Amino acid sequence: MSNEGESEEHFGFVSTEVTTLAADTVFKDVSIFLQDQKGNPESAAEFELIGADEGNEQIFLSGLSKEDGRLVDFSGEEPLDVFKLQTGNYQLYVYTEGGEEFVIEFEVLESEDFMNNPLNFVLDVDQPNVDEGKTPSENDEKDPPEVTFGDDNPTNEDGKTPIKNTSAYNLPSTATDFYNLLLIGVVLILIGVSIYVIRSRKMSKI
């Protein structure tokens, strides 16, 4: 008897390996895009997509991002830019051409339409860990106002709110008496040598 599929015959018995899924398992078509800090598509970035739940831990995809920032899976027989993901939590590891590494956590919900509203992740080098499955507008956070020092009353970036300069510190006094003691020692040595020379001359005349 020849093997067909995953069936095997052993001593007259046929064993078949069957993989079953829960009846309530739901798969969603998901598109994912990457952007840099300036909102430009992040191309040629390598990625690994891994299921983070017990029910989807068997899912592992890997590939590259296209010129438009869209992720393409090359782990199968054919490249795919639409991922069929089981609902649940996932971790996305991204490695850019510039050498930055990012870990993105997100959740695939049954109620979401990821084709009309694909996932867009902004790769912020100041914040390597992007928040869970949020769009770029949700992930963007305003940086604190930049403070410039040097004036008596410096202001923040918008030039409206005066900020008191509290970062002026006096340097600690680190001076020692080493060089003073060294100079005194040299003077004493010279005096001693002079006395010795004078006494030697007097003794030689006797």
pLDDT over 60 (residue 35):
yes
What does CATH list as the number for 7-139? 2.60.40.10
97 contact partners, CB below 8 Å, separation of at least 6: 44, 45
Give the lowest-confidence range in 31-40, 81-90, 148-157, 186-195.
Answer: 148-157
In angstroms, rounded to a whole number, what is the distance separating the alpha carbons of residues 187 and 181? Answer: 10
Contact in structure between 80 and 72 (CB atoms under 8 Å): yes
Residue pLDDT, tens place only, 50-59: 999 988 899 9
Report field, pTM of the whole predicted structure over 0.75: no
Proportion of the chain above pLDDT 90, given as a percent: 47
Residue pLDDT, tens place only, 114-170: 999 999 999 987 765 554 444 444 444 545 445 444 444 445 555 544 444 444 445
In angstroms, rounded to a whole number, what is the distance separating the alpha carbons of residues 49 and 30? Answer: 12
Closest to 37 in 3D by CA, of 132, 146, 126: 126
Local structure of 60: helix, strand or coil: strand
